[in-house]
Amino acid sequence: MNAPRARDAYKRPFDLALLVAAHVLLFPAWALLWTLIPLAIWLGDHGHVFYVQTRLGKDGRPFRMIKFRTMRVDAEEQTGAVWASRYDPRVTTIGRFLRKYRIDEMPQVINIWKGEMSLVGPRPERPELYEEFEKTIPGYRSRLRTRPGFAGLAQTRGRYSTHPSKKIRHDNLYIERMSPLLDLKLLAASVWVVLRGFPH
């Protein structure tokens, strides 16, 4: 299962160029968000601001993905890994707002800087859920052929609750057709999804 490296090669310079441009041009907005969001999360329940979770990257390599915390502290101690749902009772008030507009995903720019993720690609999955899906969804491993992404075809055409058996079709279609132009289109589509409130 080798990655389509000829099409994949543009991704790292493409990601870094866009990240640098976005941080330079929108520095006041970034500074405001990085100040207000952690403060709002902490004021909500005085718990930790970030939520770090093991996910699978390219070729199945695990990495630690960073998000703003949206659930109650220790929410998964009793339930373990659970597939996201629209009305998850474990989500905090501020967390519900952050999820709606995908602001909780913002810290993943750190993972992109480190080269663990790309701006566009299949969403990274948790190892325990991946093992479950691989047993029941034919070809599920094919989504590991490229770096996982912040935005993607499955995210712009689906929801949090869209079943992985449907998302994998979009993931594979993206991997076969990936290009800088397609990435720009999907990033623009993701901005629109965020502005109107990401559907669960």
**Residue 93 in domain:** yes
Considering Cα of 120, then 34, then 44, then 64, what sign does the dihedral take? Answer: positive
What pLDDT is stored for residue 188 in this prediction? 92
User: Residue range 158-177: average pLDDT?
Assistant: 85
Burial of residue 114 (CB within 10 Å: 0-12, 13-18, 19+) is exposed
Own/partner pairs for 138-143, CB < 8 Å, 24+ apart?
139/168, 139/172, 140/164, 140/168, 141/1, 141/60, 142/1, 142/168, 142/171, 142/172, 142/175, 143/168, 143/171, 143/172, 143/175
Query: Could you give the 3-state DSSP secondary structure of residue 143?
Result: helix
User: Residue range 154-176: average pLDDT?
Assistant: 84
**Residue 199 in domain:** no
Amino acid at 82: V
What pLDDT is stored for residue 1 in this prediction? 46
How many other C-beta atoms lie within 10 A of the C-beta of residue 32? 11
**Residue 200 in domain:** no
What pLDDT is stored for residue 26 in this prediction? 92
Q: Using 50, 70 and 90 to split pLDDT, how confident is the model at 55?
A: very high
* Span 73-128, pLDDT tens digits: 876 655 555 655 556 778 899 999 998 888 999 999 999 999 999 999 999 999 99
This prediction's pTM: 0.86
What mean pLDDT, rounded, does the chain reach? 87
- Check: CB of residue 199 under 8 Å from CB of residue 159: yes
Domain count, the chain: 1
Query: From CA 66, how far away is CA 53, in angstroms rounded?
Result: 7
**Residue 175 in domain:** yes
**Residue 67 in domain:** yes
What pLDDT is stored for residue 154 in this prediction? 85
Residue range(s) defining the domain that contains residue 185: 5-194
* pLDDT exceeds cutoff 80 at 40: yes
**Residue 50 in domain:** yes
